[in-house]
Amino acid sequence: MTAGIRLRFSFPAFVVMTVVLSACASPDPRYYTLLPDVVADSRTFLPTAPMLIEVAPVRVPEHLNRSNLAIGNGDGSFRLLEQARWGAPLPDALRDAISERLQTDLSAIDTYHQSMRDAKPRYRINIDVLQMSLEFDGRVDVRASWVVTRLADGKAAAGRTERRMRTPGGVAEMVAACRQMIAGTATDVAETLRSLKD
């Protein structure tokens, strides 16, 4: 009898506790990508013998090498956003975005992830993203340097870019600005590569 009474009273308490905990639960995180929204159909636009390139993993400062977006506070410090995350490790996200743009701009194939037997890239591209800051006031800065090496003879050319944009300050707007500036950086890298072409 006592056990039955305890059960009747504990069940409503359990329901109330479940509702309270559900209300307090954090919302699901939102994931962001640096890949362009629209990618050209490579099956249509690649030439018969596309240029082969290899985009090496992108190096980033250690404080950026994490899944959460880091927002600067304007005083040299930053905070991590628990509910805003990159959809892939940031070095991989940057490499994939730059590779995608280079393949489109140069009508090329990036062999880094490809299992292409006997396919040797003609150019290797090493990129350092020295700064990618998203500030609480909406300012976004990207600074990068790169080296493009022609593998046949080891000749290399280097470049550097700095880009800054102002946004309304929302996370989605700042990520969109990052995406645009990374695409612009890839275009600059493509120009460096063209300077090495035979």
pLDDT tens track for 33-56: 999 876 555 444 555 678 999 999
C-alpha torsion angle, residues 128, 134, 139, 142 (rounded to 10): 10
pLDDT at 142 over 50: yes
Q: Which fold has domain 27-32+51-197?
A: Rossmann fold (3.40.50)
Contact status, residue 117 vs residue 48, Cβ threshold 8 Å: no
Six-digit token string for 58: 């992108």
pLDDT tens track for 46-88: 556 789 999 999 999 998 999 999 999 888 889 999 999 999 9
Q: What is the pTM of this model?
A: 0.80
Contact status, residue 150 vs residue 85, Cβ threshold 8 Å: no
